Amino acid sequence: MPSAPSPPRKELIIPSGTDEAKSYKITVDKLNYKTVGASSIADDPSQSLYEEWAYIPTIYHKDFSNELLRIINKYKITAIFCPHYKIFYVIEETLKHHSIPIELSPPPTRQPILEQALHLFNSNISNTITDIIDIGVQFGTPFLIKSFPLAKHHLVEPVAQYYEKIKSTYTNAGIEYSLLPYALSDLDGEMILHEYDLHTKGTTSHSSLRPQIIDHPNLYKTSAIKVRNLDSLFSEIMLKEHDYIVKIDVDGLEDKIISGGYKTIRNAAAIIIESPLHALSERLQSIQNLGFSLWDICDPAYYHEQLSQVDLVFINKIIERNNISFRPWDQGPFSLEKWQSI
C-alpha cells in the first residue's frame, strides 16, 4: 500500500522583518516554498512579502508560546526559520516541551548579547544558580528572568514608582522574588534620591543618589531614602558560595557599591556590570582584583555612532579553574570550525 504523501512544505519565518529573514525569503521563493511571516509589530511592513502573515506577542509575553502553537496549527507549519538568538531558543523550548516534530533552522551564530552569554554560562556551569542579586531593576530585568527562572531574584530598587510594575512582571513570570527598597552605596546611612523625567513628564527615567539636593533641568522629585551597603544588606540573607550571580546597573554608583560589597561580590559565581567607556579600565581592575576573570563583553551601546558603554560579564576564577568548559583554549588543539568573527 503506497505511503501517504508528505504535507506541502510551509515555513514560518520569525521575526519576519530582519535583513536575514528578507534574504532567506528570497532563497525560499526560488524553491517555491510557501511562507508565513510573523512579527511582534502589528503593522510590520514586511508582511507584504509573505503569502500569509501572523502577529505574535514578544517572547517576554506570557501568551507567546500559546500563540506560536496556534500559528503552527492554523497555517500547518512544517518548518521554522529564526535568525534571532533569543526568539530561537524560546521556539526551541516550546517545540521540545510540546513534542512537536517541526524542522527548525540551525541556531543563530554567537553574538555579543547577554542572553546568549547566560545561555552558554548555564550550559557550562556544573552547580545550580539558586539566587540572583539584581541591583538597579527599574521595571524588571528580562534577560535574568529568562535565564534563571528557577532562582530567587533579590531585587534592589530605590524608586517606588517602579514597584507595582516590578511585582506584576515577576509574579506573571512565576519568579520567586524579594523586593528590597533601598539605594546602595559604600556605607549605610541616609541620602537624597533624585528622580528625573527625561522622556515623559512625571515618569522616572533614571535616578541618582546625592548627599544634598542639586539642581537639574529634568529633576522632578527628591526624597530622603535609606542607604545600605551590599555586604550589610546581604549579611541578613543566606547565600551559598558560587551559587549566585550579582548584576549591577545603577548609572554611576557602581564603584561605591563594589567598595561596600567586597564579601558578597567575591563569593558570587559571576558578576554582570554596566560600564561606560571612560570607566572601563577602572571597572575591569576593581572586579578582577576580587578574584574574577573577564568572560564576555556584551550589548555595546553607541552614541553618535561611537562606542559609549558595554555590559561586562565576569566569572569567578575558582569556577574557571575547576571547569574546563570556561577555558576554551585548554580544550584541545585549535579548531578553525570553532573560530567565529563578528
* Residue range 234-282, pLDDT digits in tens: 998 889 999 999 999 987 789 999 999 999 999 999 999 999 999 999 9
pLDDT confidence of residue 44 = 85
pLDDT confidence of residue 236 = 81
- DSSP-derived letter for residue 140 is -
Mean pLDDT of 201-213: 81
C-alpha 132/C-alpha 113 separation (Å) is 19
C-alpha 183/C-alpha 158 separation (Å) is 5
Q: pLDDT at residue 3 above 80?
A: no
Mean pLDDT of 313-331: 96
Model confidence band, residue 148 (pLDDT cutoffs 50, 70, 90): very high
C-alpha 85/C-alpha 262 separation (Å) is 34
Single out the residue of 228, 235, 54 nearest to residue 157, CA to CA. 228
User: Which residues make beta-bridge pairs with 298?
Assistant: 311
Contact at 8 Å (CB) between 193 and 209? yes
Q: What residues contact 70, with CB distance under 8 A and at least 6 apart?
A: none
pLDDT confidence of residue 228 = 92
pLDDT confidence of residue 245 = 98
Mean pLDDT of 289-312: 96
C-alpha 238/C-alpha 101 separation (Å) is 43
Mean pLDDT, the chain, integer: 90
Model confidence band, residue 223 (pLDDT cutoffs 50, 70, 90): confident
pLDDT confidence of residue 178 = 97
C-alpha 275/C-alpha 257 separation (Å) is 13
pLDDT confidence of residue 221 = 84
Mean pLDDT of 148-156: 96
176-180 and 183-185: which strand pairing? unpaired
Model confidence band, residue 108 (pLDDT cutoffs 50, 70, 90): confident
Q: pLDDT at residue 118 above 80?
A: yes
Mean pLDDT of 93-119: 89
Q: Is 254 helix (H, G, I), strand (E, B) or coil?
A: helix
Q: In one letter, which amino acid is 153? A: H
C-alpha 160/C-alpha 222 separation (Å) is 12
C-alpha 18/C-alpha 106 separation (Å) is 17
C-alpha 251/C-alpha 19 separation (Å) is 33
pLDDT confidence of residue 339 = 84
Same fold? 10-104, 114-326: yes
Model confidence band, residue 123 (pLDDT cutoffs 50, 70, 90): confident
Query: Looking at the domain that runs over 114-326, which CATH code has it been given?
Result: 3.40.50.150
Model confidence band, residue 337 (pLDDT cutoffs 50, 70, 90): confident
Q: pLDDT at residue 1 above 70?
A: no
Single out the residue of 292, 201, 203 nearest to residue 242, CA to CA. 292
For residues 310 and 215, the model is more confident at 310
Half-sphere exposure of 288 (CA within 13 A, CB side): 10
pLDDT confidence of residue 5 = 64
Q: What is the pTM of this model?
A: 0.75
Q: What residues contact 339, with CB distance under 8 A and at least 6 apart?
A: none
Per-residue cell: 258: 563594589
The topology under which CATH files domain 10-104 is: Rossmann fold (3.40.50)
Among 5-9, 167-171, 181-185, 216-220, top mean pLDDT goes to 167-171
Q: What residues contact 293, with CB distance under 8 A and at least 6 apart?
A: 314, 315, 317, 320
pLDDT confidence of residue 12 = 95
pLDDT confidence of residue 314 = 98
Domain boundaries, the chain: 10-104, 114-326
The strand ranges marked E within the chain are: 10-13, 34-39, 52-55, 79-81, 103-104, 131-135, 152-156, 176-180, 183-185, 189-196, 206-210, 219-229, 244-248, 270-276, 292-303, 306-316
What percent of the chain is predicted at pLDDT more than 70?
98
Which of 220-224, 299-303, 321-325 is least confident?
220-224
The strand ranges marked E within 211-279 are: 219-229, 244-248, 270-276
pLDDT confidence of residue 251 = 78
pLDDT confidence of residue 4 = 60
Dmax over CA atoms of the chain, in Å, equals: 86
Phi, psi of 115 (to 5 degrees): -65, -35
C-alpha 14/C-alpha 90 separation (Å) is 12
Per-residue cell: 30: 526560488
